[in-house]
Amino acid sequence: MNIYSRITGTGSYLPPNRLTNQDLVDQLAAKGIETSDEWIVERTGISARHFASPEVSSSDLAFEACIRALKSAGRAVSDVDLIIVATSTPDMVFPSTATILQHKLTQAALAEGAEHGAAGCPAFDVQAVCSGFIYALTVADAMVRAGSAHCALVVGAEVFSRILDFNDRTTCVLFGDGAGAVVLEATRHEGHGSGILATDIHADGKHREILCTPGTVVGGQVMGDPTLKMDGPAVFKLAVGLLDSAARAVLEKSGVSLEELDWLVPHQANIRIMQSTAKKLKLGPDRVVVTVHEHGNTSAASIPLALDHAVHNGQIQEGQIVLLEGVGGGFTWGAVLLRM
């Protein structure tokens, strides 16, 4: 029998500061920028989002999501032998947010009396923006299949509120902060048992300018613009077609038909993109997990946040076939097909 990887636990965390559309409308109005709850909902489907406090980092959000995922899986920090964090808003230029998370998890485990934590296992970040979790899960799956890991934490964590331009109503209303995590473990089975059935990831740098944060640090000073820039119509046009092709690719690789698919968990970017993608795949709204109305676009965190929500509210059941897919700046895109 071959080695496969299987999600055995999920967890998520949202910072407590919840901003409704009206909260944001009032804040923008004080700066002379006009928008409305109706305008935001009609164009995006978003009603609220969560923003982290200034002292809270991506690793802090990731830590909380990981603790919940480990509890869900019945695993301890000491069981973890791989940590991958997908983020576009790291704690520092370096070291990686994954190593900072590793230390926080280890310190918490030791404080509770464990003999050791997760120190010593590989830990690194993946940067593919909103496709980051799909990329990270694909890498973790490959490492588990190769025998390089047996119990991995795969995390998406973002504090996108830090890089928003609050003078641009077309982007600042879209994004939020949060984290989602899964425990991915090695399993053995024949045929289509539980686990990751297929993955498919891509990138094309010629589209890099339609969604980017074009700032950097030079000589201790910010060079360029450190806030998010997006060509919304261009992103929409690309996203729907690429998500459709990635979805069909993993279905073909796995030999699973669209009729066998139980759930689509898309990147929670915009309700219109999600609805258009589902329509192309001939999936009804009752087979699509939607959390964008409450979370906004949390970039790399959005898919694991939505997955955890659907698992813990009873939508996604053990044994069901689930399609995860996302697109992000780069331009990057990809999909993962799995049986829970």
Q: Note the pLDDT tens digit of each residue in 189-221.
A: 655 567 999 999 999 999 999 999 999 999 999
User: Percent of the chain beyond pLDDT 90?
Assistant: 97
Q: Note the pLDDT tens digit of each residue in 90-116.
A: 999 999 999 999 999 999 999 999 999
Active site residue 297: yes
| pLDDT confidence band for 2 (50 / 70 / 90) | confident
> What pLDDT does 280 receive?
93
Q: What is 195-339's CATH topology?
A: Peroxisomal Thiolase; Chain A, domain 1 (3.40.47)
Q: Cα separations (Å) of 136 from 55, 82, 132, 148, 245?
A: 26, 11, 6, 15, 20
81 in Cβ contact with 150 (< 8 Å): yes
φ and ψ of 188, to 5 deg:
-125, 135
What is the dihedral angle through the alpha carbons of 28, 29, 32, 34, rounded to the nearest 10 degrees? Answer: 90
How many degrees, rounded to 5, is the angle at CA 85 between CA 81 and CA 89? Answer: 155
- Single out the catalytic residue among 66, 130, 151, 212: 130
Task: Give start-end residues of each CATH 3.40.47.10 domain in the chain.
Answer: 2-189, 195-339
Could you give the CA distance from residue 64 to residue 59 in angstroms, rounded to a whole number? 9
- State the pTM of this model: 0.97
Q: Are strands 82-86 and 151-159 parallel, antiparallel or unpaired?
A: parallel
- Single out the catalytic residue among 50, 267, 295, 309: 267
In which residue are the tokens 């991995």 written? 152
Q: What is 2-189's CATH topology?
A: Peroxisomal Thiolase; Chain A, domain 1 (3.40.47)
